[in-house]
Structure 1
Amino acid sequence: MLVQIHPYPDELVISMVARYHMYSGRAGVKESLRDVYGLDSVRPSLHLPSHLQRLSESGCFGVSARTLVYEHTLFPYYAPFLKPEMAAHVMNDMLSDNSLGVHLESGLVPSRVSMPTRLVTCPACIHDDIHTHGEPYWHRAHHLPGVISCPKHKVKLYDRCPTCGIPFTGLFIQELPFPVVACPNGHSLLNTEGETRPATNRIAMDSEFILNNTPTWKSLEELRDRYVNVLYAMGMATPSGSIRQRDLFERFITYFPAELWGVIGVAQPVRDQECDWLRELVRKPRKALHPLFHILLMEFLSGDVPRFFEQNRFEPFGHGPWPCLNKAATHYMQDIVRDLTVTRCTDTGRPVGTFRCECGFVYSRRGPDRTEKDRFRYGRIKEFGPVWEEKLHTLASDGRWSLRGLARELGVDPKVITARLEKQNLSNVAPNTGEQEERERRRRRFMETLRTNPRCSRSRLKQLNYRDYQWLYRHDRDWLDCILPRPIVSGVRSERRVDWAQRDREMSVFVEQIAQCILNQPGKPVRVTVGRIGRICGKKALLEKCLDKLPLTEHVLNKYVESRSEFCKRRVDWAMAELLCERTDAAPWQIIRKAGLRTPVSQELNDYIEQRLIEAVEQRDDSRGVDDASRRIS
């Protein structure tokens, strides 16, 4: 008969299965696993367990599979920082039997954050759990990456007896342990005297906040916009949204204690490194980054995560109401617009606001707004509305307005006026008598200038009668072009301004030196691209736009610039060299993880990894054979 176990608040799935095993009285772990999963080969994962649909349908815990995902796993901690489609894939893998896909798609495999491999507990929580529920259990909030203290009690978390050092569980949790109040040697585990730091306590509380609260952003693009908004207010971003990376790095590094990085298992950001996680956080989101990185950035920007949630809600167009930009309305430039719809530009990814006024005037613009002046501009007018149309009809019927005068009065281009008049069946605007007289006066004066200076060029005539020339150029250009003399075409220059052959020779040598430096630099490989070479040598525009005049340089670039496939292979070579320095062999998944490759990798790259592993084994065997032969000879 199956035992009914009721999950406790914030209890891990592995803790629920462990309690079932204890109360079921089964002789072996496999029997209990067969009860709850229908399989005896499943091992509950600490972070993102799979087979949850089976676990729910077993009837041992009385909760739905969705409740298990959101209330008893770390999925709510990772999901806000994944793209929606990726989060959906991860959740489906957790419900199904695909345990490997969960970790690959969530970004945990190539992550640069140390993941907990042992179960930990808080002595104060053990005491509270016994008082409230009659027994202790494993908490989700204690097993978040980077968390080394209890977010509730500010007490150090333990994975072993603080007195004798006996671990609570085996490495990688190969069993179903249950939290106890004393170790096998009889030492109490209720000691709460462990030392904690304010920085680690804050990370613990902020991580728990992410775990238990719904994010206030709808997409990673919106989250990145919020980062940029706050950085702009702090003077570390330009109005166009470009990040001052060096300023950000300097202030970010000084904000956190130097010893924090090793304690929480995060690599410290590196100055001027393109693939550094701090740079990637504030760039357009192209891949999943670990939640702990986001938490650290939120703390830097706002002090803590709850304040970032509440005080920095991303409003790309500020607070309403907004001004009506209808020049035909009596409320022009007044803040009366309350209807705003925000969408996202499909080309640039930037927010687009559509503002609708009660007068019928609808305009839109791209955001986010960077200055107060941005509130009073628009990108396009979507609807003019009855107030604007009526004002146009009244002015056009008056007969005293020119086309340009109407355009200035209504705040649009003259072509718009013409199109709207045709729509209103007003074929043209009544001529302005005053403007006709002005045109005739200026024509006569300019003709007199032309008559008295018959051999002058256009430029000279403009100098002699600048005011009339400019007015006619703007208002009567066709007539002016007819009466002006033919423009003088200058001869072709005999000498070239740039010696492209010399420049090509110099650039080809310079580019080759830079490419070799990139290939030979120590540490993780960096891809050789035209853009990276151009940025280093300060000639990016020249390499991108004038390469047809630099054949030698183009040849060098074709020789060194790497395709995506070539770069991936070079990363594989580097990863293998690093791993084989530490151990005698390496598995393909270890190479992929070390190289930081996206999964799943292509078949071509899989074949390359297999070939390189075969070559490494053959080389090792040959080396051993030479050593054995040398020993026999000696």
Structure 2
Amino acid sequence: MTSGSNLLLFPASLPDEALVSRVSRYHILTRNRKTRDSFMQLFGKPRTALTDIVPPDIPCLALRLPGDSSDNLERLLNDNTMFPLATLFNSWTPPTDWLGAAATPATIRRRTLGLAGLTKICEHCLREDFNTHGSPYIHRAYQAPGVICCWRHGTSLIERCPECSCPFEQPRELLEVPWKPCACGYRLGSNVDPIDEATVGGDAARGYAVFARDLLLAAPGSYSTSVIASTCRTKLVELGLSRGQRGIDRHAAAALLGDYYGSDLLGQMDPAYAAGKRDQWFRMGSRSGTPDVPLNRHLLTAHFLFVDAGRFVQALERAAAEALMPPMPTRATLDLAGDARKPNDKVSRAVGELRRALEENPRYTLEDLWTRYRGTLTRLLKWDRKAFAQIRDLAQKSRSRRPVAARVISPHRLDGARADQLRQAALRLYASTDRPVRISKYSIGRAAKLAHVVSSRAAYPQCNEVLDGFAETQWHFYARRYLWTLAHLPDAAASEVRQQAGIWHYKFVELDAYFRARSLTQVTHLREGQIIVLLRGHGIDLKWEGPCPDKTFARPGRAYVKKCTGTTTRHTAGPSSNNVPTPVDLAAVVLERARFTSAG
């Protein structure tokens, strides 16, 4: 489609220029009195959003510019918007006939695509652009989600006037800065100070800005959700973040990502992280979770895993190539002895599918294949019995699981510091004067807000050593609860102490007898850590096995407990006198029921 527009004053795009910058420069060149006039000339509307990641009314501009409208739309999308990033991660797909339906704005999913936020500017780039190109302009790469510093200078980007804090951008309006001074009179780039190292962004923030800019310039195209998930999952497994055979340890991955960027930086780069919405924050690596990931989190995860945009694109290309080709030898072989067949032979395809299933599941038998691939086996049996016999022989061979290479995970750099945090949290728990609860590795981790280290022993060896040392036994917990209850009920009867302590009757009897035999000192006003001091005075440490470690207690509750032969009542049919329970049997049953009833 070729348009007959005469918008010859619409400026050519400068390197990496944002669409809002080109439209604003057009408004300045035409000297229109109102921005409404420029919007009507370019879009046929009095107002439109230009700072969205993909502006919804961009086809209207493509139809009005000179030349082929399709080429105009393609150049505008790829050169002046975030369209390359949106299509790369399959976050959004343009409508089929976008130019033909230009009057209807495209529907954009704000949850996964989102907005770019306020317009961000680097004052050092404004000065250099004026000297190089003769005009300052707004860079597109700085508007990428999560970018907070200049990729070239490392300085923090600004969204407001440094003098009066007025935001540069107004909703659905054109920009006046940097071509005109702010309302306060300050002109951006006019008084740029030398770069201060204190204001330069960190390595992670600047590396992320470079990563986003390189991806925009590369414009690698679109990849399917399965390819993106496979690429990220492969890299996560290489980093030792797998869980099970095919799963990903999302908690550990999110923790490492948080360590890489830092909580403060992540809060600036991701609104959900700053708002504390982190339950399902990391969902990369799965086909079901990847489509719901916002664009900024796609970029954060990709930069964290690959660091360099070139390596990320190469990994995507390899995953896409593997998705198109089955993980089988390139030769079209059917017979294991070497009988070749055509690559498109239906028998060869069926055999290839079954062999892949056997390779991926080494313990599959012929019965398993019939359960999961009944249709394929039935067709193969009709087409070629010799091929079916080969699959049957292959499935019957003894095979073991494929050896999995041991992953070597180096200890985390913050392992020692976090071990100290866990130690302090455990000491606070044991020193508390509140009603004792059992202190385990997980409760210590939760108290220190480091619960993820419990399941990452290889990455946090010192942390897990501290957790193993401070986790108490069940008997030590009973002893703490017993002393705490005595301190609050010094004159209560034993039955009331047992009820308030919440200790099982039979274990309480042993525990009470143990402490009474040692003339335990009564404590009326507990101080922090006093219970632990009293226990250590009686030789009771965190790993105490109880007053009677060799004694076996029946489990409390109403579960069935098998009794010995001499006291078991037999219920069999028939009038035989052997089936009649004796008084001794009945007495044993009554006592046993009374014991379990009191325990329940």
Provide TM-score, normalisation by structure 2. 0.50
Q: Distance in 2 between matches of 1:303 and 1:322?
A: 33
2:226 to 221, 227, 245: 221
1:203 to 204, 208, 211: 208
Task: Look up the SS of the partner of 1:151 in the other structure.
Answer: coil
How far is 1:204 from its partner?
1.0
1:329 aligns with 2:329: no
Cα deviation 1:391-414 (Å, max 9, x = unaligned): 95xxxxxxxxxxxxx987x44369
Aligned CA distance change for structure 1 residues 266 and 411 (closer, same or farther; 3 Å): same
Query: Is the Cα contact below 8 Å between 2:151 and 2:210 reproduced in 1?
Result: yes
Query: Is the Cα contact below 8 Å between 1:363 and 1:382 reproduced in 2?
Result: no
Residue equivalent to 1:176: 175
Query: Is the Cα contact below 8 Å between 1:78 and 1:290 reproduced in 2?
Result: no
1:241 to 219, 230, 246: 246
Q: Match for 2:63: what amino acid?
A: E
Residue equivalent to 2:29: 23
Residue equivalent to 1:71: 79
Aligned CA distance change for structure 1 residues 128 and 370 (closer, same or farther; 3 Å): farther
Q: Match for 2:239: what amino acid?
A: M
Cα deviation 1:93-126 (Å, max 9, x = unaligned): 9972445x544x35358x6xxx554322223322
Q: How does 1:419-434 map to 2 (within 5 A)?
A: none
Cα deviation 1:442-466 (Å, max 9, x = unaligned): xxxxxxxxxxxxxxxxxxxxxxxxx
Structure 2: which 5+ residue stretches go unaligned? 1-5, 396-600
1:33 to 26, 39, 60: 39
1:279 aligns with 2:283: yes
Higher relative contact order (CA 8 A, sep 6+): 2
Q: Distance in 1 between matches of 2:160 and 2:355?
A: 59
Cα deviation 1:479-529 (Å, max 9, x = unaligned): xxxxxxxxxxxxxxxxxxxxxxxxxxxxxxxxxxxxxxxxxxxxxxxxxxx
Query: Is the Cα contact below 8 Å between 2:43 and 2:61 reproduced in 1?
Result: yes
Q: Distance in 1 between matches of 2:300 and 2:84?
A: 18
How far is 1:53 from its partner?
2.5
How far is 1:220 from its partner?
0.8
Query: Is the Cα contact below 8 Å between 1:48 and 1:102 reproduced in 2?
Result: no
How far is 1:226 from its partner?
2.3
Aligned CA distance change for structure 1 residues 81 and 134 (closer, same or farther; 3 Å): same
Query: Is the Cα contact below 8 Å between 1:136 and 1:180 reproduced in 2?
Result: yes
Q: How does 1:621-632 map to 2 (within 5 A)?
A: none
Residue equivalent to 2:304: 300
How far is 1:383 from its partner?
9.6
Q: How does 1:513-524 map to 2 (within 5 A)?
A: none
Query: Is the Cα contact below 8 Å between 1:255 and 1:300 reproduced in 2?
Result: yes
Residue equivalent to 1:253: 258
How far is 1:146 from its partner?
0.9
Provide the identity percentage. Answer: 20
Q: Match for 1:301: what amino acid?
A: L
Q: How does 1:580-595 map to 2 (within 5 A)?
A: none
Provide TM-score, normalisation by structure 1. 0.48
Q: Distance in 1 between matches of 2:65 and 2:225?
A: 37
How far is 1:165 from its partner?
4.3
Query: Is the Cα contact below 8 Å between 1:123 and 1:190 reproduced in 2?
Result: yes
Residue equivalent to 2:484: none
Q: Distance in 1 between matches of 2:238 and 2:27?
A: 55
Larger deviation, residues 69-78 vs 250-259: 250-259
Q: Distance in 1 between matches of 2:265 and 2:186?
A: 33
Query: Is the Cα contact below 8 Å between 2:59 and 2:102 reproduced in 1?
Result: yes
Aligned-residue Cα RMSD (Å) equals: 4.8
How far is 1:148 from its partner?
1.1
Residue equivalent to 1:412: 392
Task: Look up the SS of the partner of 1:247 in the other structure.
Answer: helix
How far is 1:71 from its partner?
1.8
How far is 1:362 from its partner?
4.8
Task: Look up the SS of the partner of 2:55 in the other structure.
Answer: coil
Residue equivalent to 1:146: 146
Task: Look up the SS of the partner of 1:250 in the other structure.
Answer: helix
Q: Distance in 2 between matches of 1:303 and 1:136?
A: 30
How far is 1:157 from its partner?
1.8
How far is 1:280 from its partner?
6.2
1:54 aligns with 2:60: yes
Residue equivalent to 2:559: none
Q: Distance in 2 between matches of 1:189 and 1:371?
A: 67
Residue equivalent to 1:88: 94
Q: Distance in 2 between matches of 1:372 and 1:123?
A: 61
Q: Match for 2:33: what amino acid?
A: A
Aligned CA distance change for structure 1 residues 107 and 133 (closer, same or farther; 3 Å): same
Aligned CA distance change for structure 1 residues 411 and 321 (closer, same or farther; 3 Å): closer
Task: Look up the SS of the partner of 2:213 in the other structure.
Answer: helix
How far is 1:238 from its partner?
4.7
Structure 1: which 5+ residue stretches go unaligned? 342-353, 393-405, 416-634
Query: Is the Cα contact below 8 Å between 2:268 and 2:274 reproduced in 1?
Result: no
Q: Match for 2:307: what amino acid?
A: G
Alignment length (residue pairs): 369
Query: Is the Cα contact below 8 Å between 2:63 and 2:99 reproduced in 1?
Result: no
How far is 1:247 from its partner?
3.1
1:310 aligns with 2:314: yes
How far is 1:143 from its partner?
0.8
1:44 to 37, 44, 50: 50
How far is 1:136 from its partner?
1.3
Residue equivalent to 2:16: 10
Task: Look up the SS of the partner of 1:88 in the other structure.
Answer: coil
Q: Distance in 1 between matches of 2:218 and 2:40?
A: 34
